[in-house]
Amino acid sequence: MDPLPYKLTSVPDYRDSGFDCLVIVGDDPTALGDGLSDLAPILTAYCQADAAVLEAGSVALIPSGPQGRLLFSNSGRLNRDQDDLRRIYDAAGAGLTRAVGAGAKRPLLTVAKLASLPVGREPWATQPAADRAALLGAMQALYTPLELRDIGRRPKIDQLGFRPSSAGEAGESQLRLAAALEAGRILARDIGGSDPERMTAKRAAELIRSVLGEDAGVTVEVEERVDPAKYPLMAAVDRAASGVPRHAGCVVHLSYRGSGDCPQPLLFVGKGITYDTGGADVKAGGHMAGMHRDKCGAAAIAGLFRTLQLLRPPRVEAHASLAFVRNSIGSNSYVADEIITSRAGVRVRVGNTDAEGRMVMADLLCLMRERALGLPNPSAASLFTVATLTGHVIRAYGVNYAAAMDNGPARLKDTSARLQRAGDLVADPFEISTIRREDYNMVAPKTEAEDVLQCNNEPSSGTSRGHQFPAAFLIRAAGLDKHGLDSDRPIAYTHIDVAGSSGDYPDPATASPLLALAARYILPDLSG
C-alpha cells in the first residue's frame, strides 16, 4: 500500500517545469535568500503594488514565476517570545489551500531562508525543522476526508514536490519521515474524524486491521466483544450500545517491537468513544454535535503504530489497547449511583455517565499495569492514556494544546516536560499540568460502599481542576496508586488529554499527539 494518496518527491531546483505552482513559505517576501534570489524582483514589485503581502498570515498568488503561478505565504516573524514552528506549519497549510483553490495539481513547496529564525536560542529554530513543519502543515491541508474518498473523491493534488534546504540524502530522509508521519495521521484522521455510522467500533477495528495488517511489523488483535469479566467498567458503558449489533463495542490490541534491545517499553491506552451522547446524563442543549470526535485519542495511537510500521525504528517496543465503545442512551444504560468493581478490584461509584472515557480506559490501564509488572524491570516501562477526555482542558488551555500530567515515577523521568520539548520540534505543542492532592480528594469515596468516586455531577468545564482529577481516578481505579513513589515497584504513568488539540470541529482532526509522541520516542535524532 502506498503510504500517501499523492506522489511526494524531492526537487532540487525550484525552476522544475514538471510542477504547476511554486509555493514559497517565508517571513519576508523581500528577502528570500540566495537560493531563491532570482524571484526577488517579482516579489518586490508585487509588494510595492500590494503591501498586504508583508503582513503575517497573508497569502499572495502571482501569475508569474517558472511554473506560471508563484505563491508566497507569509509566516510572520519567528523571533518573539510567543513564536514557534506553528508559524511555518500554518503558513504552509494556508499556501497549499490557496494553491489547490487556484487549480494547482502539482504544487512545488519550498521554505525561504528565514531571516527572523532565532537560531541558537530555541531548539526548534533550525532550517531543517522549518522544512519539516512546512511539509507537515501542507499535508494537513491536503487531507481528503474518508467519507468523500468512499464516494470516489480524488485526492486534492496528484503530486507534491518539495525543495529541501538540505540536498542529497538529508533531503530524501526528510521526505521519508514526513510521509511516514502523514500516513499515520491519515489513519488517525480517518478514524477520529469520520461520522459515527461510518466509523462504528467494529468498522474502526476493520480499518485498523486493513491498514496495519497489510504490512509486517505491527500485530493486530481484536476482541470482538467487550467481556464484562475482563473489562467491567468498559462493559458498563457498552451496555446500551451492545443491544444494537452494529454499535457494539470492541477492543483493539496493537504491538510493535523493533530490532535490538528495547530499554523503555511504551504501553498506551486510547479512548475510542465512537459517539458520546452523554448516556443517561444526556448532553442536552446542542452539546452532542461533534461527539463523533470522541475517539481521537485511540485514533492517534492507531496512527502512531502506522508510523512505527513504516519507519521500523530499532530499540523501540510499543503496545496499545484501544477501547472502541459507543456511549448510547437506552433502557440498558448504566446510570449514576451504580457501584461497579473494576478489573483491579476497586469499587467504583458512578457519578456521571458523561464521564465514560475514564471508565472505558481504566480496565485497559490495569491491563497495561499487569503487562508492566510482567517485565524484568517494571520501572523501565512508561504507561500512557490518550483521550479527548474533558472540556475543562479546553477551558484551561484553549483549542490548540494537549495537556500532559505525570504520576510521581513519570515525573522523575521528566516525561511530560520531555514530551513538551519534543512537541515543539514538530509543531504539536503541549501544556504541562500536575496531579495534586486535591485531585485525589475529589475522587475519594463519599460512602463506605465504594473505594473511589468516578466523577462529580457537574460538567468538567465548570469544575475546579476538571482535567486533572480524572487522572487521579484512573490511577486509583487501575490500581496504579500501589505503584507510586512510595512503592518498591514504581510504574511511570502519564495521562494526555487531547480534547483541545485533536481539532476544533468542524476543522479536520489533527491526529495530535501523534507527532509529539513520534518525535519523543521513535525519532531520537529529533529530540535526543
Residues labelled catalytic: 283, 358
Determine the straight-line distance between the first and last CA of the chain, rounded to whole angstroms.
31
φ, ψ for residue 442, nearest 5 deg? -60, -35
- pTM confidence score: 0.97
Q: Residue 254: which of 294, 205, 310, 295 has the closest Cα?
A: 205
Quick one: cell of 63? 501569475
In one letter, which amino acid is 5? P
Answer yes or no: are the C-beta atoms of 126 and 425 closer than 8 Å.
Answer: no
Query: Which ranges of 413-453 would DSSP assign to H, the alpha helix?
Result: 415-424, 437-442
Residue 166 confidence (pLDDT)? 73
pLDDT tens sequence for the chain (528 residues): 689 999 999 999 999 999 999 999 999 999 998 789 899 899 999 999 999 999 999 999 999 988 999 999 999 999 999 999 999 999 999 999 999 999 999 999 999 999 999 999 999 999 999 999 999 999 999 999 999 999 999 999 999 999 998 766 667 888 999 999 999 999 999 999 999 999 999 999 999 999 998 778 999 999 999 999 999 999 999 999 999 999 999 999 999 999 999 999 999 999 999 999 999 999 988 889 999 999 999 999 999 999 999 999 999 999 999 999 999 999 999 999 999 999 999 999 999 999 999 999 999 999 999 999 999 999 999 999 999 999 999 999 999 999 999 999 999 999 999 999 999 999 999 999 999 999 999 999 999 999 999 999 888 888 999 999 999 999 999 999 999 999 999 999 999 999 999 999 999 999 999 999 999 999 877 755
β-strands 382-387, 402-406 pairing: unpaired
- Annotate 465-484 with DSSP letters as a single string: TTTTHHHHHHHHHTTGGGGS
Residue 169 confidence (pLDDT)? 64
- Residue 402 CB burial class (10 angstroms; 0-12, 13-18, ≥19): buried
How many whole angstroms separate alpha carbon 505 and alpha carbon 399?
10
How many whole angstroms separate alpha carbon 199 and alpha carbon 379?
36
Residue 168 confidence (pLDDT)? 64
Does 506 sit behind a cis peptide bond, omega within 30 degrees of 0 on the bond before it? yes
List 189's β-bridge partners, or say none. none
Residue 403 CA neighbour count, 13 Å, CB half? 26
- Which residues, at least 6 apart from 345, have a Cβ–Cβ distance to it below 8 Å? 479
> Which DSSP letter does residue 379 get?
G
Residue 503 confidence (pLDDT)? 95
List 317's β-bridge partners, or say none. 257
Residue 1 confidence (pLDDT)? 60
In order of their start, the domains of the chain are: 7-167 (3.40.220.10), 195-334+351-444+461-526 (3.40.630.10)
Query: Which ranges of 102-223 would DSSP assign to H, the alpha helix?
Result: 127-142, 146-150, 169-193, 201-212
